[in-house]
Amino acid sequence: MRLTIFIMVLLSLFGSNIMAGELIIPEDKTVIQFETKIGVVTFAHRMHADLSITQCTTCHHKHEPADTVMKPCHECHQHKSKVPPKAKTAFHNRCTGCHEYTVAGGHSAGPLKKKCKLCHIKE
């Protein structure tokens, strides 16, 4: 009974933000920049989080049951690892794969494969 009341109080405080699609993204993470050898990749985190086809776990997945969802990507996706795949492989598969899926569904999306300079911008 106490747990039910506690959950109801939490939902009344935070539930409207979650239900309205207003996810809690730290201010310094609304736009993320990844430094790469061929240019900086700017990822519009807030914009992607607000899309109806994505969920946080689409990218912030758990590799092991005890893992937290918000681990930094490179903590598991090391440069020389094969399982899990290195970050470059994981990002390219996830990002372009989602963009291709979205375009195939008749919607506009970000850059697709083999157009590196659309994402990787030299400063």
pLDDT at 7 exceeding the cut of 70: no
Average pLDDT, the chain: 75
Cα–Cα distances in angstroms (integers) from residue 88 to residues 9, 15, 53, in the given order: 42, 35, 23
User: Tens digits of per-residue pLDDT, 88-118?
Assistant: 888 888 888 888 888 899 988 888 877 788 8
**Has residue 11 got a pLDDT over 70?**
no
Q: How far apart, in Å, are the Cα atoms of 14 and each of 17, 20, 24, 30, 119?
A: 6, 10, 10, 19, 35
Domains located in the chain, CATH noted = 28-121 (3.90.10.10)
37-80 pLDDT tens trace: 999 999 998 888 888 777 777 787 776 677 666 677 878 788 77
